[in-house]
Amino acid sequence: MTEQQLHRPTAGQLDVWSRVAGLGIVIGLIIGLVPPVAFGLAGPASAIILGILVVGPAIVSTVIGFRAVGVAKLEKASGYSTMFDFAGYELRDPRTLEVLRASDVRPTGTIRRSLFRSMLTVKPGTLLAKRLEEDEKER
């Protein structure tokens, strides 16, 4: 792995950032629509503000999404992936680049990895997993 690969955002990280920016579209709609509707404000100023609040996050989300695809292609060319679980390629953690599945092991999960879901999953061997096992034994 090159020094440059260690310091740039991974495809998995960029994918999450793109989705967070996409949430900005919904938040922009809420912020842009609620005050005009609640207070009876209408006109070109409201439309411009709504446009900025919705189009801005949409552009950011799209740009980051395209960057994630580009980085995913570079990762695949390097023999690994942080976003997709490809057969024949190493699966690596999006944050640490630690190998999660070797390239010669067949994928068992879904095609697309979810960083959000992985944050909510208790991984075997971790301190939390051991505590949960102890709690189960006590019952």
pTM for the full predicted model: 0.68
Domain with 12, as residue range(s), is 3-138
Chain-centre distance for alpha carbon 22 = 11
pLDDT at 3 over 50: no
Q: For residues 105 and 94, is the Cβ–Cβ distance under 8 A?
A: no
Residue 91 has what DSSP assignment?
E
Q: Give the residue, 13 or 40, on which the prediction is more confident.
A: 13
Q: Give the residue, 39 or 109, on which the prediction is more confident.
A: 39
What are the residues whose beta carbons fall under 8 Å from the beta carbon of 102, sequence distance 6 or more?
90
pLDDT of residue 119: 60
Q: For residues 30 and 77, is the Cβ–Cβ distance under 8 A?
A: no
Strand partners for 92:
99
Domain count, the chain: 1
Angle (deg, nearest 10), helices 11-39 and 44-77? 170
| Residues 110-123, mean pLDDT to the nearest whole number | 59
What are the residues whose beta carbons fall under 8 Å from the beta carbon of 107, sequence distance 6 or more?
85, 86, 87, 91, 101
Dist CA 58 CA 21 (whole Å): 7
Chain-centre distance for alpha carbon 4 = 21
Would you state the structure tokens that stand for residue 66, as one six-digit string?
A: 């395209």
Mean pLDDT of the chain: 82
